[in-house]
Amino acid sequence: MEAPATVRALIVDDEPLACERIRNLLKEDPEVEVVGQSGGRSALNAIKELSPDLIFLDVKMPGLDGFGVLKNLEGESGSGRLPVVIFVTAFDRYALRAFDVHAVDYLLKPFDKERFERAVNRAKAQIRDGPNGKQSHRIADLLAQFKPAQSYLERLVVKRNGRIFFIKAAEVDWIEAEGNYVRIHIAGESHLLRETLSNLEARLDPTKLVRIHRSAIVNIDRVQEMQPWFHGEYRVILPDGVQLTLTKSYREKLHEQLGISL
């Protein structure tokens, strides 16, 4: 089977800025065409519809992560060829060395242009060599073998008026979004942290600090009562009288994470 004249690339990453950076770098390579981009949840459909030769796959995504994408893709591929994968990840270097030994390439965020080009050139060489079913079908097993244990933030570090505060994540009452910042509420006080709510959510234990609204995360241990509200929503009441809203779109997520049927 001859290698394609133009390599068809799909970017699978939930971060728009990360997708944009990969697109911009690929504009300089006439041998690669970006045929689309997708988040983790829609990645499988995008792969089926677009039939890419190369996938830039973020390992850690909400919903269906990179491991899940490959596992599902492998299960549906039968004896067919899997696309060549370049992992885009923030995993520690020890796991990445293991990937490298098995000729699975990666880009460690943040990556520079030179490292990006090396990864793409390796991918193009593999595509030119033709399908290697044995290697392709081992990718998911290798990922599962070296997938590090999930770890979550145990404390948050915030700065205010030249002082640095260390806040235990388990002691946080709730967190609200304020643009590109979050406001952390704890014991009647609040602290502002330069971080988006989505980025912070990905680093917090989802069984303890739960997203209940596009603008709010709550410590489930601080919830005193939940009252049915309008349109399938709930009022979430904390011991100090603060009332938050659990929206319908996050209700199912709460059920999946905590086993609470509403």
pLDDT tens per residue, range 12-53: 887 888 889 999 999 999 999 999 998 766 778 888 889 899
Whether 2 is in a domain gets the answer: no
Residues 160, 188 within the same domain? yes
Beta partners for 34? 9
CA distance 214 to 198: 9
Kindly state whether residues 81 and 159 are assigned to the same domain: no
Q: Which domain holds residue 193?
A: 155-258
Same domain? For 28 and 99 the reply is yes
In the prediction, which pLDDT does 114 show? 92
> Where does a domain end: 114, 146, 178?
146
Residues 36 and 62 in one domain: yes
Instruction: Report if residue 52 sits inside a domain.
Output: yes
| CATH for 197 | 2.40.50.1020
Q: What is the dihedral of CA 59, 218, 216, 149, to 10 degrees?
A: -10
Nearest to 106 by CA among 59, 44, 42, 147: 59
Residues 115 and 16 in one domain: yes
Q: Residue 24: inside a domain, yes or no?
A: yes
33 and 97 part of one domain:
yes
Which residue among 85, 118, 146 closes a domain? 146
pLDDT in tens, 225-239: 999 988 889 999 999
Residue 234: its pLDDT value, please?
93
Asked if residue 1 is part of any domain, the answer here is: no
Q: What angle do CA 181, 187, 189 make, to 5 degrees?
A: 45
Contacts of 211 (CB under 8 A, 6+ apart): 197, 201, 217, 250, 253
Helices of type H across 27-151: 43-50, 66-77, 93-101, 113-128, 133-146
Which CATH number covers residue 19?
Answer: 3.40.50.2300
Out of 29-33, 67-71, 109-113, pick the least confident: 67-71
Distance in angstroms (rounded) separating the CA atoms of residues 220 and 258 = 9
* Distance (Å, whole) CA 193 – CA 178: 9
Does 15 share its domain with 67?
Answer: yes
Look at residue 198 and tell me whether its pLDDT is greater than 50: yes
Q: What is the 3-state secondary structure (H, E, C) of 115-158?
A: HHHHHHHHHHHHHHCCCCHHHHHHHHHHHHHHCCCCCCCCEEEE
pTM: predicted TM-score of the whole model, two decimal places: 0.48
pLDDT at 131: 54
One domain for residues 84 and 213: no
CA pair distance 19, 39, nearest whole angstrom: 10
Single residue among 98, 124, 146 that ends a domain in this structure? 146
Distance CA(59)–CA(8), nearest Å, equals: 20
Same domain, 140 and 162: no
Cβ within 8 Å of residue 239, ≥6 positions away = 222, 224
Tally of domains in the chain: 2
Q: Same domain for 227 and 116?
A: no
Asked if residue 174 belongs to a domain, the reply is yes
Residues 132 and 184 in one domain: no
| Residue 30 included in any domain | yes
Asked if 142 and 34 sit in the same domain, the reply is: yes
Share of the chain above pLDDT 70, in %: 73
On whether residue 202 sits in a domain, the answer given is: yes
Q: What is the CA radius of gyration of the chain?
A: 21
